[in-house]
A and B are shown apart, each in its own frame.
Chain A
Amino acid sequence: MSDPIKPIVPETMPGVAVAESGTVMLDGPDGVAIAMTSDAAIETGRRLIAAGEQAARQRGRRAD
């Protein structure tokens, strides 16, 4: 019997963001490893919060 293939699912652990030499580095979750300028990081942060809140509302609706 072969092992079942686990599908890639949304991460439950947040990534780790640090600032160094004027650059923001995001490590994880999963295989994410990216560096951004401060402006790009701030805007990405805003968009992530907005999308996260929207996803939470969608999940809430499904639970109804």
Chain B
Amino acid sequence: MSRTRTVDPRTAIVRRGEYINVSTYLISGYICRYMDDREGHRQLVALHVPGDFVDLHAFPMKRLDHDVASLGPVEIGTYEHETLARIGTDSPHLTRMLWYSTLLDAAMHREWIFRLGRLGAVGRVAHFFCEIDARLAMVGLSEDHRFTLPLTQADLAEATGLTGVHVNRTLRRLREDGLMSFRHGAVEIADPVRLARLAEFDPDYLYGDPPAAQER
């Protein structure tokens, strides 16, 4: 890792279209990738949890087609692309892991398309929390389906293609149905089985057990 640094909440880390010669690894906190429409309405297109490479695809592309920003305070590490190129030459195993990371990113994007295209408001919100719970559990940050997530309801709205009012109503319904709660950045999934059923969520696309790329 070339260097590490902390980033304040809600700070742009990479701007769409700018030349990049480093890739960002998320050590702690949460980062989003987003796109704005012509009127400035934001759509979150990805959420990154600790342990994720945020913009590994910039290694071959040298720019991003979207923006990257911190949600809460984050600590990131940056890898110069020259270093990644050396890994590609010297370590086939690490190269496979980096490739795996990028493919996993694509798998999550497919699932986000499914979420927005096929699910209603309740399903979308439920699916979002099921995915984050599963991903955080993989890195030891969700315990018994409880975790912290420094998102506002507006962020959640931007991730699920809903308005803030709609998200508020949906969260209330999920809470009143005894499925989950989301208050002040604290998530508690009381009934993960029912929530997953509602979300049509199957964590298979996260390839958590065990990823083939980890086999030497």
List A residues at the B interface (Cβ < 8 Å): 18, 20-21, 23, 25, 27-28, 30-35
Number of A-B contacts (CB under 8 A): 37
Pair A33/B169 contact, Cβ less than 8 Å = no
Taking the complex as formed, is B148 at the interface, i.e. its CB lies under 8 A from any CB of chain A?
A: no
Instruction: Spell out B's residues near A (CB within 8 Å).
Output: 116-122, 124, 160-163, 165-166, 169
Whether the Cβ atoms of B165 and A25 lie closer than 8 Å is yes
List residues of chain A with CB within 8 A of the CB of B124.
33
Are A33 and B165 neighbours in the complex by a CB distance under 8 Å?
no
Q: Determine the main DSSP class of B at the interface with A.
A: helix
Name B164's closest neighbour in chain A (CB-CB): A35
Closest partner residue, chain B, to A25 (CB atom): B166
Residues in B with CB closer than 8 Å to A31 are: 116-120
Name the B residues within 8 Å of A35 (CB-CB). 162-163, 165-166
A6 to chain B, nearest CB (A): 12
- Complex: A27 Cα to B169 Cα, angstroms: 11
Residues of B within 8 Å of A23, CB to CB, are: 163, 165-166
Shortest CB-to-CB span from B183 to chain A, Å, is 19
The docked-state distance in angstroms from the alpha carbon of A31 to that of B117 is 6
Q: Which of A20, A21, A32 contacts B120 (CB 8 A)?
A: A32
